[in-house]
């Protein structure tokens, strides 16, 4: 494809605006580490919520969904939809706890919650593990999608794509810190959503598709339409529905859907004005992320089944793309090649925006760990604020270069998704319970992190050696096995090691005010020692928070699936789900006041 003047004008205009925002924010960002990584803790809920949605909406998101739908139908998206439960639990239970902690990064939490050398080791090791190793995998996955989009739409080589997409992102991320990231995210999300809707309209109206009616009636598409999986197909039911819904959402650490919150989601909550703004940001994120965004991508994915029915059709259409990159996720950018000029420039700019929003967040988030939790904590404790900001900017540069190079190691988005899930399998329950059970200590987290990572490596080696045959091990079997072994491991370590010292537990209770039966022994000991932990009559709101979580999930799922049935033309379930969604939303608003009051 070639771009004309109007296409280039749209793309260049967007780049200029992003750069201007970075330059404008640079003066304040350079004042201190809190300004660079948390925007001075003054951000409103709507800006933080929009930023979370923009961050989790990258150019790899629609390609991943296309990969899922082409292989497993719309129901294949349940592997990601189940994380709504995690998100809603964070909204009504954990968001306010994070904001109360007052830490600069979520890794700083470790020396707030745990004690001694194990806590310090855990903080430093996680800074390198998440800030560098894990973060580089995420950057590589996003960059892989950009490479495929650049190759399919513009015929660019991987190096040309990376060079063009990364430079502007690097500049405003290094200059403006989190404030620049948040402000550009608002622009990026707006552009990306409009672009995805435009892409869906063009895809559905492709001459081979024949409009929405033609799409719904096509024999190749109809088996892919059901929102729930075929319960007569045991393997599919287990892999994309039963295991994700029963095990995955609470047991697996996944960026943007961490059990109990964490990563760049925690960073946004920590940047909020107060607890209520932190909670509001998470609620906006959960609603927009799961109920508003998916259907334009799903329609493009379904349309691609007609236009490019198999990998051979994709390879024939794009002979210049290396066969290693011709996977089902290539179908999304392939469908965008039918856009007319003007729309092409806008949609391409929206995809660039999606790439930039995620990469900028990953760079800022990873650099915050490496700067605050590794460099300042272990290398230069007396470093000045200006030195720390400079170090943070250097880390941003290094992460982008290494992460982009790593993209050449992967081939498709679904593979990256499953690798990330497996690395975090079994750690989720620990992250949920550490706020509400005093007995969990730093050794538990060290054990969980090591065992889950080794399990992921072991599965990759076994599959590479074809120990279990050419088909390998089923993904759901790997998840369940990883969760079971990792959970048993950290529980055993917990009972075999000493608990966190009492002074640290008392301090944590006073600051966070977690409440509940898991802290009664600590509170009783403090009272007996004449050093009471007083919550000033504050009620324990977790039971109400869990109720709100389920009502919130009902509201969002009703909106999500109701929209789907409206599109399908199946009006009875569409009306029922729409009514359920409205009633659930009203009830949620009423109950939210009680949770916030706690």
- φ, ψ (nearest 5 deg) of residue 279: -65, -45
Give the span between the Cα atoms of 593 and 91, in whole angstroms.
Answer: 13
pLDDT at 489: 95
Highest mean pLDDT among 80-84, 190-194, 326-330, 474-478: 80-84
Q: Report which of residues 426 and 301 the model is more confident about.
A: 301
Predicted confidence (pLDDT) per residue in 308-322, tens digit:
999 999 899 888 777
Place of tokens 């400079």: 390
Q: What are phi and psi of 333, to 5 degrees?
A: -65, -30
- Give residue 508's pLDDT: 93
Task: Please tell me the distance from the alpha carbon of residue 17 to that of residue 177, in angstroms, as a whole number.
Answer: 16
Question: In angstroms, rounded to a whole number, what is the distance separating the alpha carbons of residues 186 and 46?
Answer: 9
Model confidence pLDDT, tens digit, residues 248-290: 888 887 777 788 887 778 878 888 888 888 888 888 888 888 8
Which pLDDT band holds residue 40 (cuts at 50, 70, 90)?
Answer: confident
The Cβ of residue 160 has, within 10 Å, a number of other Cβ atoms equal to 14
The residue-averaged pLDDT of 64-92 equals 89
Mean pLDDT of 34-48: 77
Query: What's the CATH number of domain 5-423, 3.40.50.1580, 1.10.510.10, 3.40.190.10, 1.20.1730.10?
Result: 1.20.1730.10
Q: Could you tell me the pTM of the whole model?
A: 0.83
Residues in the chain: 598
Instruction: State the average pLDDT for the chain.
Output: 84
User: What kind and span of H or E run contains 153?
Assistant: helix 135-154
Other residues' Cβ atoms within 10 Å of the Cβ of residue 339: 22
pLDDT at 29 over 60: no
pLDDT at 196: 86
Burial class (CB in 10 A: 0-12, 13-18, 19+), 219: exposed
The CB-side HSE value for 334 (13 A sphere, CA atoms) comes to 29
Q: Residue 372's Cα: distance from chain center in Å? A: 22
Q: How confident is residue 213, by pLDDT bands cut at 50, 70 and 90? A: very high
pLDDT above 90: percentage of residues in the chain:
29
Burial readout 175-195 (b: 16 or more C-beta within 10 A, e: otherwise)? bbbbbbbbbbbbbbbebbbeb
- Once rounded to an integer, what is the mean pLDDT over residues 160-180? 69
Q: Please check the confidence at residue 299 and state whether its pLDDT lies above 90.
A: yes
pLDDT at 356 over 80: no
The token pair at 371 is 């700067």
Rounded CA Rg of the chain: 24
Please give the residue that has the higher pLDDT: either 537 or 502.
502
Residue 364 has pLDDT above 90, yes or no: no
Q: Cα–Cα distance between 92 and 353 in angstroms, integer? A: 30
- The rounded distance, in Å, linking the Cα atoms of 329 and 142 is 12
pLDDT of residue 267: 79
Angstrom distance (rounded) from CA 458 to CA 550: 36
- pLDDT grade for 22, boundaries at 50, 70 and 90: low
pLDDT-based confidence at 442, cuts 50/70/90?
very high
- The model's pLDDT over 137-167, given as tens digits with 9 standing for 90+, comes to 888 877 877 777 777 767 777 777 777 667 7
Token pair belonging to 451: 């065992």
Provide the pLDDT for residue 366: 87
Q: Which of 300, 314, 295 is nearest to 412 (CA)?
A: 314
Q: How far apart (Å, rounded) are the C-alpha atoms in residues 13 and 572?
A: 45
Q: How many helices (H) and strands (E) does the chain have?
A: 30, 0
Contacts of 79 (CB under 8 A, 6+ apart): 68, 239, 240, 244, 248, 417
Q: What pLDDT does 495 receive?
A: 93
Distance between CA atoms of residues 583 and 165, nearest Å: 44
Q: What is the mean pLDDT of residues 455-465?
A: 81
Taking 70 as the threshold, does the pLDDT of residue 576 lie above it? yes
| Domain boundaries of the chain, sorted by first residue | 5-423, 544-598
- Closest by Cα among 505, 201, 167 to 335: 201
Buried b (16+ CB within 10 A) or exposed e, 135-146: bbbbbbbbbbbb
**Residue 456 and residue 422 in contact, taking contact as beta carbons nearer than 8 Å:** yes
Average pLDDT rounded to a whole number, residues 513-527: 90
Question: Residue 43 phi/psi, 5° resolution?
Answer: -85, 140
- The pLDDT of residue 300 is 94
Higher pLDDT, 487 or 237: 487
Mean pLDDT of 93-104: 88
């Amino acid at each position: 494809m070639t771009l004309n003047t109007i296409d280039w004008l749209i793309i260049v205009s967007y780049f200029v605006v992003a750069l201007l925002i970075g330059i404008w924010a640079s003066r304040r960002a350079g004042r201190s580490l809190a300004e660079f990584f948390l925007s001075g803790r003054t951000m409103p809920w709507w800006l933080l919520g929009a930023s979370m949605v923009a961050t989790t909406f990258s150019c790899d998101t629609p390609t991943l969904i296309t990969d899922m739908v082409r292989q497993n139908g719309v129901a294949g998206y349940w592997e990601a939809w189940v994380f709504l439960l995690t998100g809603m639990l964070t909204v009504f239970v954990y968001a306010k706890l994070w904001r109360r902690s007052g830490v600069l990064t979520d890794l700083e939490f470790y020396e707030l919650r745990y004690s001694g050398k194990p806590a310090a080791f855990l903080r430093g090791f996680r800074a390198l593990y998440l800030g560098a190793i894990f973060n580089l995998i995420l950057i590589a996955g996003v960059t892989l999608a950009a490479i495929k989009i650049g190759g399919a739409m513009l015929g660019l080589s991987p190096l040309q794509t990376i060079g063009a997409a990364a430079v502007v992102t690097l500049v405003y991320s290094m200059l403006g810190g989190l404030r620049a990231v948040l402000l550009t995210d608002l622009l990026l999300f707006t552009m990306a959503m409009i672009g995805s809707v435009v892409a869906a309209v063009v895809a559905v109206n492709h001459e081979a598709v024949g409009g929405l009616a033609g799409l719904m009636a096509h024999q190749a598409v109809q088996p892919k339409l059901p929102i729930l999986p075929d319960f007569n197909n045991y393997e599919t039911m287990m892999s994309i529905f039963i295991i994700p819904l029963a095990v995955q959402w609470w047991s697996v650490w996944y960026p943007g859907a961490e059990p109990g919150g964490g990563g760049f989601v925690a960073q946004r909550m920590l940047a909020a004005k107060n607890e209520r703004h932190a909670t509001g940001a998470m609620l906006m994120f959960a609603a927009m992320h799961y109920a508003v965004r998916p259907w334009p991508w799903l329609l493009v994915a379904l349309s691609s089944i007609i236009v490019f029915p198999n990998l051979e059709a994709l390879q024939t259409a794009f002979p210049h793309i290396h066969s290693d990159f011709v996977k089902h996720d290539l179908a999304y950018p392939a469908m965008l090649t039918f856009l007319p000029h003007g729309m092409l420039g806008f949609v391409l700019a929206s995809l660039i925006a999606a790439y930039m929003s995620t990469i900028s967040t990953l760079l800022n988030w990873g650099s915050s760990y490496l700067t605050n939790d590794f460099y300042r904590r272990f290398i230069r404790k007396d470093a000045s604020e200006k030195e720390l900001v400079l170090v943070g900017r250097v880390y941003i540069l290094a992460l982008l270069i290494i992460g982009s190079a790593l993209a050449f190691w992967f081939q498709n988005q679904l593979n990256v998704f499953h690798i990330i899930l497996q690395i975090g399998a079994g750690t989720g329950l620990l992250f949920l319970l550490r706020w509400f059970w005093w007995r969990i200590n730093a050794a538990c987290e060290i054990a969980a992190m090591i065992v889950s990572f080794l399990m992921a490596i072991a599965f990759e080696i076994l599959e590479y050696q074809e120990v279990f045959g050419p088909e390998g091990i089923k993904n759901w079997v790997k998840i369940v096995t990883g969760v079971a072994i990792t959970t048993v491991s950290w529980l055993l370590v917990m009972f075999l090691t000493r608990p966190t010292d009492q002074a640290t537990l008392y301090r944590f209770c006073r600051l966070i005010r977690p409440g509940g039966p898991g802290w009664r022994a600590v509170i009783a000991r403090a009272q007996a020692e004449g050093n009471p932990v007083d919550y000033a009559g504050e009620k324990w709101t977790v039971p109400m928070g869990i109720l709100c979580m389920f009502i919130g999930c009902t509201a969002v799922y009703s909106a999500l699936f109701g929209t789907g049935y409206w599109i399908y033309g199946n009006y009875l379930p569409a009306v029922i789900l729409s009514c359920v969604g409205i009633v659930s939303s009203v009830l949620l608003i009423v109950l939210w006041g009680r949770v916030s009051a706690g």
